Amino acid sequence: MEFGVNFFPVIDPAEKTATAYYEETLRLIELAESLGFTQAQTVEHYFSGYGGYCPDPITLLTAAAARTTRIRLATGACVPAFTHPVKLAGKLAMLDHLSHGRLDVGFGRAFLPTEFEAFGVSMDESRARFAEGVEAIRRLWTEENLVWEGSFHRFGPVTMLPRPYQDPHPPIYIASASSAESCAAAGTAGHHLQVVPSVTSAEQLAAMLVHYRRAWDAAGHDPKARRIQIKFTCYVDADRETAYQQGEFYERNYVNHMAKAVAPLAEKGSADYPGYEKFLEKARNYDFRAALGANKVLAGNPSDVLAQIETVREQFGTDLSFSLQFNPGAMEYGRAAAAMELFAAEVMPAFQDDAPKDGTGAEIRCRTALAVPA
């Protein structure tokens, strides 16, 4: 089983400068590679302490590519609705080359009203824009003289340069917060899946994964090629109570920032986001111990966290990979690094027998004869 690291900057400039956050993140990615984590990813958000330090995940991952040689690099996720598909396809193809084929591409719909307003995009169009953007990018990567006549973009004939390093293109992941429909569509298309258990119930998440797996199988895709990534914040310390104290503090910080960012959803609901207006209520009523008991956050000593991971696999399937956030923005570098080292030493070995030998579960194919660095 694979373990990766993710970086969601839940932080205000008064707590830490952007320069400091980026440098610490890059150091932690280097550390993750040395410890055997298989993937590092980051998000796309704007304006607020809820992710706003990363408006362009491709830029941050390009810096990470220059400082690493083996770990895979993932957008988790970038937003097609906010960027023209020709631009986004080209930027991602460049990163695929600069990383020598280590790119995984996660796409997401976004859900914050302030972001849609800034880009002049209606939230009611988000699902259609998302589907069109992902498909346009996939075809730009794989076709020549493409003519695109969509509802939101029209262009062509064009042939994208560079073509992606990976053949036919980087692995595509679809990020889904709560939509079984989105999961089924991803499975039908043969795309991989990113899910976050902290924002949905265990029952709803289980149903989402059933829809995804059934759609994947019904479309005739190879079950062994399917990849489901589940994301958690993780607070691990030799002392259980220390881990719980850290978790309660930083999870509350996360929830407070999220509450501010999602507050407009309560006033500006959208048919494309049924139930999302309840995020604010969930944030206000957040209880760390309840979240811990429901395995929505990983926390405790190594034995505690190992047991939680085993429970998650029993609930949602053994075909999961885990993407873990050890540094929720405002945490100091040393504490996050120590948690990663402890996890790698005392938790990961229990799950290494069934881990793939590379970061994708399959051989990386490239368009050139350039070897992937050892």
State pLDDT tens for residues 300-331: 999 999 999 999 999 999 999 999 999 987 89
pLDDT number for residue 199: 82
Among the listed residues 212, 336, 200, the one whose alpha carbon sits nearest the alpha carbon of residue 278: 200
Mention every residue, 6+ apart, whose C-beta is less than 8 A from residue 22.
53, 60, 63
Chain segment 19-58, per-residue pLDDT in tens: 999 999 999 999 999 999 999 999 999 999 999 999 999 9
The whole-number average pLDDT for the span 259-288 is 73
Q: Is 277 exposed, middle or buried (0-12, 13-18, 19+ CB in 10 A)?
A: middle
- Residue 41's DSSP bridge partners are 6, 74
Does the pLDDT value for residue 193 go beyond 80?
yes
pLDDT number for residue 270: 65
Q: Return the minimum-mean-pLDDT range out of 60-74, 253-267, 314-328.
A: 253-267
pLDDT number for residue 274: 64
CA distance 156 to 147: 4
Chain segment 339-372, per-residue pLDDT in tens: 999 999 999 999 987 544 444 444 444 443 333 3
Most confident segment among 72-76, 252-256, 260-264, 351-355: 72-76
Mean pLDDT, the chain, as a whole number? 91
pLDDT number for residue 285: 80
164: left (phi over 0), alpha (psi -120 to 50) or beta: beta
DSSP annotation of 362 reads: S
Per DSSP, the three-state class of 148 is strand
pLDDT number for residue 261: 86
pLDDT number for residue 142: 98
pLDDT band at 269 (very low <50, low <70, confident <90, very high): low
The whole-number average pLDDT for the span 165-170 is 98
pLDDT number for residue 275: 64
pLDDT over 70, % of the chain: 90
CA distance 65 to 75: 13
The whole-number average pLDDT for the span 124-132 is 94
pLDDT number for residue 330: 87
**How many CB atoms are located within 10 Å of the residue 142 CB?**
14
